[in-house]
Structure 1
Amino acid sequence: MTITPAGSAQALAAALRHDDPSALGALLDNLPADGPALVPMVVLAKAHRSLDLLLARGFSPNETRVDRLAGLHLVDDAKMVRTLVAAGGDVNLASPSGTPLHLAAANAGPPVLKALLDAGADPNATHEGPVTNFTPLEIACELGRTLAVKALLARPPAPATCFFLTAGFVTRKGKKPLAVLDLLLSAFGADLEPVVGYDFLLHIASKAGSLEGVELLIKHGAAVDRPDREGRTAAFLAIHAAFGGLAPRPEHVEVFRRLAAAGANLDQRCGQVTPRELARQHRVALS
């Protein structure tokens, strides 16, 4: 970064590093009009007293850098959120990287997320970029940021979004995705009403052979015998998928056994056959 007169860049960096409003104030009159956006710089430096000075001097809390990010997009301090908002900062200011809540979902801690939500940040805002269309909660879930997920679940989304978001995690593996799924099921329940054209969550996990997903759904009280629109139970879908392809799928057999252990009715007829009859045909033993 080059700022004239010579040495101003170093002096500015030192003023922000030490949060010295007197030193910063002495530099303001000499900084060029086309210099860097100072409010975002002060926010990144976490220089509270310097931020107070800039706002008192009439600097806009919505001042943006060349990448269109303002202080609220970059903030990692709840007190600074409140300071910027009190001065007129827009908590829903759009940018190529999303709103402040989008960036906080990816980078900040729960206190910042709470401060933004309390100030009116829209938890259902979608990213304006050309590739993604995620809400802040979806971003936190995708990144496996469980503390951020907890904070954002204080403002739950619409039912359809709840279903799609949770359905996207019932077939995933790994510590972080399963931790996210556990949080979503705690917030929304395991028996979310599916969107038209989709299966119940337990049916999705069973058909995919996701034992981890089935375990969590059972833990959160999923109804194990509820039939889908075609009269098929989760146990039927699991055992049917286990032997419905070119080769047996042992993961689906394990899901079938887990559902049986959870009390699934294996004699509930699905079309012309029951899950128990299918299991016997393929010599699947139940412990």
Structure 2
Amino acid sequence: MIAPAGFAQALAAAFRQDDPSALGALLDDLPADSPPLVPMAVLAKAHRSLDLLLSRGFSANETRVDRLAGLHLVNDAKMVRTLVAAGGDVNLASAGGTPLHLAAANATPPVIKALLDAGADPSATRDDSVTCVTPLEVACELGRTAAVKALLARPPGHATCFFLTAAFVTRKGKKELAVLDLLLAAFGADMEPPAGYDFLLHIASKAGCLDGVERLIERGAAIDRPDREGRTAAFLAMAGLFPRPEHVEVFRRLAAAGANLDQRSGNVTPRDLAQRHGVALP
């Protein structure tokens, strides 16, 4: 019997070298308190060792104390297929979410594709005390554009996609705008909002987000469409009591794009609001 310290070292070496012979010899004397071996093989990218473990009856869903199984840790598409073929659950829940959540945060696009091909649920949520987050939301928030592209092949439901895009039309920053470009390319600038919500252009205009407004205009957003209360995007840009400089920029951009400044909401037009606030028109 190998001493515990020596066993751990030998086990680590067997995985590091991906040596099934050495690993097989160790399995014959496996102590009761040994760590989960399948996750260890996955982290080491030890393909032959993983094959040996699965052939010896080790579960593809074996988890560590943090409830992460091999599919949560994998960053190799071939290993995904090996684990799935052995019964690995691509929707196995953990504190960090499903394997697709972890892949969205850490893995390469081929791994994401392999998980999706194996039936990973793109609408699965990672619950916490504040919100429910899908894998696509994870990738977007981290600015992992390659992962976003892979996940957009099978996006979650319409409402999730709308609220996610709506969040990014009001953001600034290079990564955030790169994500927004991908979302708009996938879903369009005129996504139908869920009941009770505004169109994307109204949201960006009301927030005074010039970057979002420009991208929506470039994608063909309907500039003069009124919201539920009859207000256009140009109206909303000027509707505040004291419009900030960014709202003035948005208003001028909409005007330059051909917005109808005489379209009424009640008895007031965007032009009236601009004049009231002393905003000179182009």
Provide the TM-score with structure 1 as the length reference. 0.94
Q: Assess if the C-alpha contact under 8 Å between 1:98 and 1:129 holds in 2.
A: no
**Alignment match, 2:254:** 259
Q: Assess if the C-alpha contact under 8 Å between 1:171 and 1:213 holds in 2.
A: yes
Matches within 5 A, 1:223-262: 223-241=222-240, 244-245=241-242, 248-262=243-257
Q: 1:271, CA displacement in angstroms?
A: 1.4
**Alignment match, 1:93:** 92
Rounded Cα–Cα distance in structure 2 between residues aligned with 1:16 and 1:180 = 38
Listed as ranges, the gaps of 5+ residues in structure 2 are none
Q: In the alignment, is residue 283 of structure 1 matched against residue 282 of structure 2?
A: no
Q: In the alignment, is residue 156 of structure 1 matched against residue 155 of structure 2?
A: yes
Matched AA of 1:261:
A
RMSD: 1.4
**Alignment match, 1:20:** 19
**Alignment match, 1:62:** 61
* Identity of matched residues, %: 82
**Alignment match, 1:79:** 78
Flag the 1:253–1:130 CA change in 2: closer, same or farther, 3 A. closer
Q: 1:268, CA displacement in angstroms?
A: 0.9
Rounded Cα–Cα distance in structure 1 between residues aligned with 2:276 and 2:127 = 53
CA deviations on 1:249-276 (whole Å, 9 max, x unpaired) are: 1110000000011111111112112112
Matched AA of 1:221:
G
Rounded Cα–Cα distance in structure 2 between residues aligned with 1:4 and 1:68 = 27
Q: 1:220, CA displacement in angstroms?
A: 1.2
Q: In the alignment, is residue 215 of structure 1 matched against residue 214 of structure 2?
A: yes
Q: What number of residue pairs does the alignment pair up?
A: 281
Q: In the alignment, is residue 125 of structure 1 matched against residue 120 of structure 2?
A: no
Rounded Cα–Cα distance in structure 2 between residues aligned with 1:220 and 1:33 = 61
**Alignment match, 2:167:** 168
Listed as ranges, the gaps of 5+ residues in structure 1 are none
CA deviations on 1:129-174 (whole Å, 9 max, x unpaired) are: 4554211111111111111111111112222112111111111111
Q: Assess if the C-alpha contact under 8 Å between 1:96 and 1:129 holds in 2.
A: no
State which of 265, 273, 278 in structure 2 corresponds to 1:270.
265
CA deviations on 1:197-226 (whole Å, 9 max, x unpaired) are: 211111111011000110111111110000
Worse overlay, 129-138 or 47-56: 129-138
**Alignment match, 1:112:** 111
Aligned partner of residue 7 in structure 1, secondary structure: helix
Rounded Cα–Cα distance in structure 1 between residues aligned with 2:181 and 2:22 = 50
Flag the 1:45–1:208 CA change in 2: closer, same or farther, 3 A. same
Rounded Cα–Cα distance in structure 1 between residues aligned with 2:231 and 2:159 = 23
Rounded Cα–Cα distance in structure 1 between residues aligned with 2:175 and 2:60 = 36
Q: 1:182, CA displacement in angstroms?
A: 1.1
Flag the 1:132–1:249 CA change in 2: closer, same or farther, 3 A. closer
Matched AA of 2:277:
H
Matched AA of 2:109:
P
Q: Assess if the C-alpha contact under 8 Å between 1:4 and 1:31 holds in 2.
A: no
Rounded Cα–Cα distance in structure 2 between residues aligned with 1:36 and 1:201 = 50
Provide the TM-score with structure 2 as the length reference. 0.96
Aligned partner of residue 162 in structure 1, secondary structure: helix
Flag the 1:129–1:26 CA change in 2: closer, same or farther, 3 A. farther
Aligned partner of residue 191 in structure 1, secondary structure: coil
